[in-house]
């Protein structure tokens, strides 16, 4: 008799849970459909200028740690669409916006030419590039290489001075892990 009583209570509870669950699922489904059908109205329209901007990472020397650190820069995509390598190196020469970072490429340096050979960017600098701090050569090449290898098609960097290989920069540089 007791078992029959428990069995009936169990069946009643099971039916209540089943029916309640069914109605809860219908309510949730209806709310989702309502949300899908509502139009999204942005609070503020995105301007054409904002739509053309992208973030690039430029690497400079951290004044405190003396290690390379990235600086995110928001730039107009039209600045880098034709020759991204030259524009990124030019931004490195101009230096960081963050006062905790410092540039390492000599100020009067000019980028004469840049081009991609397979997965290697070749950068041809003016002779002023050789006025770099000899103690910081590795940091100099790391800042350039780290910046340019942010681009998916670039894995290596080769540096030329006035169109020729220089003994100081005869290597092909890859990003340090």
Structure tokens at 36: 């899908």
State the pLDDT confidence band at 67, using cuts at 50, 70 and 90. Answer: very high
Residue 43 placed within a domain: no
- Flag whether 134 is in a domain: yes
Tell me which of 7-11, 38-42, 110-114 is least confident.
38-42
Question: Which one has a higher pLDDT value, 144 or 4?
Answer: 144
The rounded distance, in Å, linking the Cα atoms of 34 and 53 is: 34
Domain co-membership, 160 together with 116 = yes
Instruction: Kindly report, residue by residue over 84-118, the tens digit of the pLDDT.
Output: 999 999 999 999 999 999 999 998 999 999 999 99
Co-location of 64 and 147 in the same domain: yes
Contacts of 173 (CB under 8 A, 6+ apart): 141, 142, 144, 145, 156, 157, 158, 159
Query: Is residue 112 domain-shared with residue 80, that is, in the same domain?
Result: yes
pLDDT at residue 62, rounded to an integer: 93
Give the length of the chain.
177
Give Cα separations from 111 to 56, 69, 106, 152 (angstroms): 19, 22, 12, 21
Based on the domain organization, do 73 and 158 belong to the same domain? Answer: yes
**What is the pLDDT, as a whole number, of residue 38?**
54
* Co-location of 15 and 64 in the same domain: no
Judge if 105 and 23 occupy the same domain.
no
Whole-angstrom Cα distance, residue 11 to residue 94?
78
d(CA 174, CA 149): 8
Tell me which residue range forms the domain holding 8.
Answer: 1-34
Domain count, the chain: 2
Do 129 and 73 share a domain, yes or no?
A: yes
């Amino acid at each position: 008799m007791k078992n029959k009583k428990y069995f009936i209570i169990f069946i009643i509870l099971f039916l209540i849970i089943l029916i309640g669950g069914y109605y809860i699922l219908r309510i949730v489904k209806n709310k989702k459909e309502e949300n899908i059908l509502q139009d999204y109205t942005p609070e503020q329209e995105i301007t054409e200028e904002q739509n053309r901007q992208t973030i690039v990472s430029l690497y400079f020397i951290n004044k405190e740690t003396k290690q390379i650190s990235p600086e995110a820069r928001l730039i107009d995509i039209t600045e880098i669409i034709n020759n991204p390598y030259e524009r990124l190196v030019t931004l490195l020469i101009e230096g960081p916006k963050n006062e905790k970072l410092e540039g390492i490429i000599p100020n009067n340096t000019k980028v004469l030419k840049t081009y991609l050979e397979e997965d290697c960017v070749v950068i041809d600098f003016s002779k002023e590039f050789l006025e770099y701090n000899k103690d910081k050569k590795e940091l100099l090449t790391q800042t350039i290489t780290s910046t340019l290898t942010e681009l998916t098609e670039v894995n290596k960097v080769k540096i030329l001075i006035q169109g020729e290989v220089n003994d100081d920069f005869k290597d092909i540089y890859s990003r340090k892990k």
